[in-house]
Structure 1
Amino acid sequence: MDAVKPPRRFSFRRLLRHGRAEVRRSLQARTVSMTVIVTLAVAIVFSMVSMVSVRSSVLTQITSQSRSDYSNMVQQAQTSLDAADVATTVQIQQLVNDLASAMQSDGSSNLVGVYLWSRDSSSARSIIPVSTEPSYEPLISDDMRSAVASDVDDNVFYQPIELPIESSISVNGNGTPGAVLGTTLEFGVAGNLEFFAIYSYTLQQRSLMQIQLTLLLVGVLLSVAIGVVMWLTIRGIVRPVEYVATAAETLAGGDLDTRVSVNRNDEIGVLQRSFNAMADSLNQKINELEQATVAQKRFVSDVSHELRTPVTTMRMASDLLEMKKDEFDPAAQRTVELLSGQISRFQDLLADLLEISRYDAGYAALDLVETDVRESIQTAAEQVSGVAAARSVPIHVDLPNVQVLARIDSRRVIRIVRNLLANAVDFADSRPVEVRLAVNRKAVVISVRDYGAGMDAEQTPHVFDRFWRGDPSRSRMTGGTGLGLSIAMTDALLHHGTIRVRSVKGSGTWFLVMLPRDPDKGEILDAELPMNFASERSDQMGVIGGFGVASSNVVAEREESHDTMMGRPL
C-alpha cells in the first residue's frame, strides 16, 4: 500500500522566495508589485498624517466641550450653594450629596465622576468627601489637588489622564484617555469646596480607531484596485509583445512563413507591422542568398568541368617535359619539377571541387558492395605512407584479425580515411598517428588520432567547413585544398553515418568515423555504436567502448568498458 504524502506546510519564506523569483523574471509582476507597494506606502503615510490631524482636531474639540460642560456644572453648583438655606452639618452634607448626584446626572455622557470635599478638613462644619465614582478618585493627582487647594482666584485647572482599561480600546496599551478638571466652590456655611470632575474620551478614541481602520482598509483596497488595473493594463501591453517574441523564436527556428496578426494602431501595432516587414525582408534576403548560392555552385561546377580539358593538356605537356628534364640545365629541371607539382595540385583541387559540386547538386550516389573494411583502411594508409615518411610521422594501424564485412562504397571510405590521415600527418609534429577499428553487429567506428598541435575549443567546430584551415600559416607538404575534411564528412553522411572530433591544444586531435554496416537500414543511434566519445565537450577526449569486434551484447560491452576506457588515451 502506497504511503500518503502529507500536504506541504505553508512556508512564508518559500512564498517570499517564489515571489522574488517571479518579480525578477516578469516585467509585468515587477511593475505591478512596485505600483502596489508605492500606492500602499502613500496610503499609509496619508492615513498617518490624516490621523494626526484628526486626532489633534478631536482632542481640541473634546477638551473644549469638557471645559464648557465643567464650567456649566460649576455655575450650576455655585448657584445651588448660594441659594441653599442650611444650618446644620447634616443638612450641609445632604446638600453636597444631592449636588454631586445632580451634577453627575445632568453632566455630559463622558462624565465619569464628580468629587467634592472641604478645603479645610479641620473645620467644625467640614463635610465628608463625596464621590460618584470612588474607583477613579486615585486618578486625581496630588499636584492637581495642591493647585486647586492653593488657588484663590477661582481658576479652572485641567490635567490629561489615562483611565483604566474598560474595553478593548486602549492608548499605547495602558488605558483610555481622559481628563481631570478642578476648581473651588464658595460655600459660606461650610467654607469653600474643592470640586473635581473626571471625563473619559473612550467614545472619541473608538471613533478615532474606527477612522484609522477605515483609512487603512481604504488604502489597502485602493492598492489592490490599482494593482489589478495595472495588471490588466500591462497585460494588454505584454501579451502582444509575448506573441511577437514567440513568433520571433518560431522564425529563428526556421519557419520563415511565421507572421503576427496586426490588430492595433498604437505602438504595439507598429511593432507588429515592423516584425512582419522584417520577416518579409529576411525571407526575401534568404531567397536571394539561396539563388546566389545555387548560381555560385553552378558556376563552380561549370568552371571545374571546363578546366578539366586545359588542365589535362597541361598535364600531358608537363609529363613530356618531365620525361626529357635530364636534358635540361639544373634551373630548367627545377622549373619542370615545380610545374609538375602545381599541376598535380590543380588536378586535386579540380577533383575535390567536382566532388563537392556533385554532392550539392544531389547527384552523388553510393556504390554499395559488401567489403572488408580493413582493406579500405589499409589502402588509405598506404596512399598516405609516402607523405608520412617524408614528414617522419609513423602511422600505426591496429585492426582486428578477423574480417569486418560491411556494405560500403569502398572508394568513398578510402577517401574518408585518406583525408583524415593526411590532415593528421600535417599536424602530427613528427609524433605517431594511430588508426584503429571498433565493430559490433550494427556499426563500425574508424578511429584516427594524432598527438600533434591540436586545436582549441573555438577552432574545433569549424574543421569540416569548406576551405577552412586551423593554421593557414603552416607549411603544408601535402598541398591541401581545404576541402578534404568537408568531403570526408559528405562521404560519411552519404553512408548515413557521421564524423565526430575532439581536440586539445598541444595534445592532438581525435576523429571517429561512425558508419552503419548496412546503410540501407538507415542511421544508427548512439546507443548502438561500439564506441563513442564520453563527453559532448569538444575538448574532452575520453571514450566509452572499446576497439576490436564487440560481443553481441552491445549494451553490456559499453557498460563494461565505460569504467576501463573513460578518459584513457588509446
Structure 2
Amino acid sequence: MWWHGSRLLSEGANSGRVQPAIRIFGRVARGPLLSVMRLWRRNIQLRVVASTLLLSMAVVLVLGVVVVGQVRNGLLEAKRQTAQSQADGGFAVAEDLAADADENADASAGQSLDTSTWLNSIVEQLASGGQGVYYVVALSSELSRPPFGSDASPAPPRGTRSIGDIQAAESISPELREAVDRHSATHRQYGTVVRQNGETEAALVIGKRLPDNEGNQYQLYYLFPFTQEEKSLSLVTGTLATAGLFLVALLGAIAWLVVRQVVTPVRMAARIAERLAAGRLQERMKISGEDDIARLGESFNKMARNLQTQIQQLEELSRMQRRFVSDVSHELRTPLTTVRMAADLIHEARSDFEPATARSAELLLSQLDRFESLLADLLEISRFDAGAAHLEAEPTDLRDVVHRVVEGAEPLAERRGGRLLVRGDGSPVVAEVDPRRIERVLRNLVVNAIEHGEGRDVVVRLAAGRDGQAVAIAVRDYGIGLKPGEAERVFNRFWRADPARARTTGGTGLGLSIAVEDARLHGGLLEAWGEPGGGAQFRLTLPCTVGATPRRSPLPLEPDDSRARRAVRAGAVSAARAVSAGPGGPGAPGVAGEER
C-alpha cells in the first residue's frame, strides 16, 4: 500500500500548488474584470452600442440562416428536377437504342454488336453531353457484391462501364443497386462520388434497370455532382457573411453616433449639475439648435437660474436672521444685566415683603435664570449658523467628563426619586475632544433623561472601540420613551413630544439642537432610540482623533435590555399560541383554569 499513500501525497502536493495559482490568477483577473464591470455600469453609450451590436448580430445570423436554408433548398430542388429530366431522357434513349439494336439484329440475321461494345457505346453516347456536369455508369445486374448490410467493401463488378475519373463501385451504394435489381422503376438517392484520386463529392444518383441489345438486364446510373451548387451556396454564404458584418458594423457606428448626440448633452448636464451642487451657481449649459435637446438645455438653465435666485435669497434671509439673532442677543445683555441686579436686590429683601410679593420675587429670579440660559443658547445657535463655532480639542479622558456631569445632576435625580448609574469596563476612554462642549452635551442628555425618566434610574455607559477609531457614550432612561418617527424630530429646535407637557427643569428647547451641532463639530454623531413605555437612549459617537470619521459605534443604539425584553415577549406570544393550538382548543377548561 506504500505506492497508494505516495500517490495520495503527490496528489495533495499538486493540489496544494494548484490552489495558490488559482487564487493568484483570480486576484490578477479580478482587477480588469471589476474595471470592465464599472465601465459597463457607468457608461450608457457603451451599453447601448454593445446591445445594438449584439441584437444586430442575432438578427443578421437568423436572417442568414433562413436565407441560406432557402437558397440551399431551392438549389437542391432545381438540381433534382434537372437531374430527373436528364436521367429520364437518357433512360428513354437507352431503351430506344436497345430496341433498335434488336430490330437490326433480326434484320441482319444474327449479326449484332457484342454486349460489351454496345454498353460502351451507350455510356459514351449518353455521357458525351455531360462534360463534367454528370457521369454515366452502366453495371451488370449480376454483380458479385456482399450481402445487404455487410461492412465488407464490394468487389469491382463485372461489366462495369463508366466515363470519367470516378470509381463506379464505390460511388454507387449497395442499397441502391439492390433496389434497382428488385424493381424496374427509376430510383433516386443522395450519395457520394468517389474519384480515382480518393476525393469525394456529394452527388445525386439516379438509376434504373434496363434491357441491353441482347435482352439481358443491366443497370444504368446517372451521377450528378453538386459542384456548381456548392460553389453557388458558398458564394451566397460568403456574400451574406460579408454583408452581415458590414451591416453590423454600420449599425454599431450609427448607434454610436446617435447615442453620442443624446448622451453628450446629458453628460454636460451632469457636469453642470455637479458644479451647481459644489456651489458654482453661475454655471450654465451651452445650447445650439432648436430641437428637444436644446429645449432640455434651456429648461436646465432656467432651473439653474431659479435655483441660484432662490439660494441667494435664502442665503440673504439666513444672513439677516443670523445677524438679527446675534444683534438682539447682544443688545439684550445690557438691559438683562440691569434687570438681574434689580431682581437680586428684590430677592434678597423678599423676607420683608408679603408672602405673595416674596413668591413673585422668587419667580422673577428663576425666570431671569431661564432667560439668561435661553439667551446663551441663542448666541450659541447663531454661532453655529454663521459657521463661527471653533473646536478647542485636546486629549481627554471622557470618564472625568461623565463623572463631573453625574455629580452635578445627582441632586436633581434625587429630587425626582431616581439614581444616576455609570457603567463601563474601567479602562480609559480617551479622545481628542473639546471638554466644554462634550460636557454640555452630556449634561443636556442626562438632565433630559432625568426629566423624562419618571423617577426611575438613569444609566450612563462608556465604551471605546477595539480598533481605536471611535468612542461612545450612551444615556439610557426608562421613562415614557419615544413614539415611532419621533427619534428623528427630537433634535429639532423647540420641538416637544407632548406640547402640553411643561418643562420642569427649566430647559430652553435648544439643548438637543446645540448638542447635535457640537457632535457634528467633532466629526461625530448623536442618535436617539426609543419605544413607547420602554424608555429612550441617546448615543454620542466621537472619533478618537480630530478629522477622522468613525465607521461604527462601540455601543449599540438599541439597548440590550430592550432586545432581551422583546425576545422574551416574542417567546411568550409563541408559547401562548402553542397552548391555544393544543388539545381542546382555545376554549378548553384546563387552559382556562391555568390562565385564571
Q: Which TM-score band (shorter chain)?
A: 0.5 to 0.7
Residue among 402, 405, 417 paired with 1:392: 417
**Secondary structure of 1:35's partner?**
helix
Cα distance in 2, alignment partners of residues 507 and 284 from structure 1: 46
C-alpha deviation, 1:34, in angstroms = 2.7
Alpha carbons of 1:378 and 1:317: their partners in 2 closer, same or farther (altered >3 Å)? same
Residue among 183, 186, 192 paired with 1:158: 186
Alpha carbons of 1:401 and 1:239: their partners in 2 closer, same or farther (altered >3 Å)? closer
Asked if 1:132 corresponds to 2:161, the answer is yes
Cα distance in 1, alignment partners of residues 328 and 313 from structure 2: 22
Asked if 1:355 corresponds to 2:355, the answer is no
Residue among 50, 53, 78 paired with 2:74: 53
C-alpha deviation, 1:37, in angstroms = 2.0
Residue among 479, 499, 510 paired with 1:483: 510
Give 1:102's aligned residue.
124
Give 2:546's aligned residue.
523
Cα distance in 1, alignment partners of residues 392 and 421 from structure 2: 29
Give 1:93's aligned residue.
115
> Partner amino acid for 1:477?
T
Show the 5 A alignment for 1:192-207.
Answer: 196-207=220-231
> Partner amino acid for 1:287?
Q
Paired residues of 2:193 and 2:225 also in contact (CA < 8 A): no
Cα distance in 2, alignment partners of residues 380 and 195 from structure 1: 120
Paired residues of 2:208 and 2:220 also in contact (CA < 8 A): yes
Asked if 1:430 corresponds to 2:455, the answer is yes
**Secondary structure of 1:449's partner?**
strand
Show the 5 A alignment for 1:337-356.
Answer: 345-356=370-381
Residue among 34, 43, 54 paired with 1:33: 54
**Secondary structure of 1:466's partner?**
coil
Cα distance in 2, alignment partners of residues 260 and 357 from structure 1: 37
Show the 5 A alignment for 1:538-557.
Answer: 539=558
Asked if 1:299 corresponds to 2:319, the answer is no
Paired residues of 2:52 and 2:251 also in contact (CA < 8 A): no
C-alpha deviation, 1:317, in angstroms = 7.3
Cα distance in 1, alignment partners of residues 36 and 344 from structure 2: 80
TM-score, structure 1 as length reference: 0.65
Question: Residue deviations 1:361-401, cap 9 Å, x none?
Answer: 45656899999988876664455444433432312468999
Alpha carbons of 1:58 and 1:98: their partners in 2 closer, same or farther (altered >3 Å)? closer
C-alpha deviation, 1:450, in angstroms = 1.8
Cα distance in 2, alignment partners of residues 339 and 233 from structure 1: 79
C-alpha deviation, 1:411, in angstroms = 5.9
Moved more, 35-44 or 458-467: 458-467
Show the 5 A alignment for 1:455-470.
Answer: 464-468=491-495
**Secondary structure of 1:430's partner?**
coil
Show the 5 A alignment for 1:140-539.
Answer: 140=176, 144-145=180-181, 148=184, 157-164=185-192, 166=194, 176-181=203-208, 190-191=214-215, 196-207=220-231, 209-211=233-235, 213-214=237-238, 217-218=241-242, 220-222=244-246, 224-237=248-261, 239-240=263-264, 241-249=266-274, 251-252=276-277, 256=281, 259-262=284-287, 266-305=291-330, 323=350, 327=354, 345-361=370-386, 380-381=405-406, 383-396=408-421, 412=437, 414-435=439-460, 447=473, 449-452=475-478, 464-468=491-495, 476-490=503-517, 498=524, 500-501=526-527, 503=529, 505=531, 506=534, 508-512=536-540, 514=542, 523=546, 525=548, 533-534=553-554, 539=558
**Secondary structure of 2:186's partner?**
strand
C-alpha deviation, 1:236, in angstroms = 1.6
Paired residues of 1:504 and 1:540 also in contact (CA < 8 A): no
C-alpha deviation, 1:478, in angstroms = 2.6
C-alpha deviation, 1:36, in angstroms = 2.8
Cα distance in 2, alignment partners of residues 146 and 310 from structure 1: 134
Question: Residue deviations 1:128-177, cap 9 Å, x none?
Answer: 984315623845556645653xxxxxxxx53221324638877xxxx643
Paired residues of 1:425 and 1:433 also in contact (CA < 8 A): yes
Cα distance in 1, alignment partners of residues 539 and 442 from structure 2: 10
> Partner amino acid for 1:509?
Q
Paired residues of 2:192 and 2:200 also in contact (CA < 8 A): no
Question: Residue deviations 1:403-455, cap 9 Å, x none?
Answer: 99999987655533322222232343434334577899x99978452243666
Cα distance in 1, alignment partners of residues 221 and 397 from structure 2: 121
C-alpha deviation, 1:113, in angstroms = 0.7
Cα distance in 1, alignment partners of residues 372 and 282 from structure 2: 44
C-alpha deviation, 1:274, in angstroms = 3.7
Mind listing any 5+ residue stretches in structure 1 that lack a counterpart?
A: 10-14, 119-127, 149-156, 517-521, 543-570
Paired residues of 1:500 and 1:512 also in contact (CA < 8 A): yes
Alpha carbons of 1:142 and 1:77: their partners in 2 closer, same or farther (altered >3 Å)? same
> Partner amino acid for 1:131?
T
> Partner amino acid for 1:162?
Y
TM-score, structure 2 as length reference: 0.63
Structure showing the higher helix proportion among its residues = 2
C-alpha deviation, 1:293, in angstroms = 1.2
